[in-house]
Amino acid sequence: MGMNVLEGGGITSPKGFVAGVAMAGIKTPGRYDLTIVHSLFSASAAGVFTQNLVKAAPVLLSQAYLAESAGAGRAVVFNSGCANACTGDKGLEDARQMTNKVAQALGCPGNEVLVASTGVIGAYLPMEKILAGVDSAAKEMDAKNGASAAQAIMTTDTIPKEIAVEWEVAGKTVTLGAMAKGSGMIHPDMATLLAIVTTDCAIAPALLQEALMEACDATFNMVTVDGDTSTNDSLFSLANGQAANPLLTSNTDAGYAEFVEGLTYVCRRMAQLIARDGEGATKFIEVVIEGAKTRKDARIAARTVAGSSLVKAAIYGKDANWGRVLCAMGYSGAGFDPAIVDLYLGDIQMMEKGSALIFDEAKALDYLDNKDIRILAQLHQGEERAVAWGCDLTHDYVTINGSYRT
């Protein structure tokens, strides 16, 4: 499709998008911890949220706003340092006050401002700091603030995560920008994260929602760090149509397949960066399942292997204990015949048609010295394939999470 990755691109790369940031001092003074992403023009809006039954106030409010506005959106406000989760009616009112403050500053309806929060669960937002931060960020709205916005949503992340791509649709240049945060509490449905994809593509709200869900299933829902699904997972998209391509209203429209491809690409890159930045991680793990009977089987098997604590610990310890991989596949719920599975660690075959092979332990140890580890299982059951991403399980993960609140 001729897609180009834009050097240094992010959420303000598409036409008509600006961002503002503030050091509100929500948890840690002297760092960006609040940001507003704003479309200068009316936009379609979509969102995918956590499947956890315990949903934070910003998740509940954003879901309600998307329904009320019929998929119209002008801005998303993010804060780090406090999740505003398990905070009851006060939490909902605080989230609403936050969006109303943004709406007032930007001159748009309150239900066209979505909200996302990350940080400690069970604490109330420091509203004086939040509202002052909104005022400060709203005064600094500019396309040059994309990179700062990616920093403002970080918690235990060690690197900001952002990307932008562009391609041609009907002779018009369409641009997609994305930023995400995520390092711990990462597990499918959704992967624990805050993320936004901005685009100047002209696409109807319902179709944008369909595309976002499809992209999320293949990317963010295939990354796992620690098996914990958060209360605050939120993935947003705003599409303001400033590329002036023919409006996409149906999944059969020319240009829609390319839009989904671009959307999936940026989401995949963000998901992989989250796995690479897993709390305490030293290795990035890619699990590939091929030859599955159904896509569901392939995805379940891949995610389960990537999420297995025993597999992750073995990779950290440089132990080629491939039996843990087959064990995880066996309890995953995926349908397959263990007697015909081929299994590889990198290019080293560990198992052929369900039977163990003698392999070179020194070569395997050599491979496990790499930062990127690939596990592949060929099931010989069908044609479906899936890829999941994760990281190793280290002593530092326990250290980070043993003192997260204090």
By annotation, the residues acting in catalysis are 192
Q: How far is CA 65 from the centre of its chain?
A: 21
Tell me 189's DSSP state. Answer: S
Residue 204: strand, helix, or coil: coil
Tell me 247's DSSP state. Answer: P
Tell me the backbone φ, ψ of residue 48, rounded to 5 degrees.
Answer: -125, 135
At 295, list the tokens. 């896509």
What is the Cα–Cα distance from 213 to 201, expressed in whole angstroms?
Answer: 17
**Alpha-carbon torsion, ordered 343, 344, 348, 352, to 10 deg:** 20
What is the Cα–Cα distance from 396 to 362, expressed in whole angstroms?
Answer: 27
Tell me 45's DSSP state. Answer: E
Tell me how many helices (H) and strands (E) the chain has.
11, 15
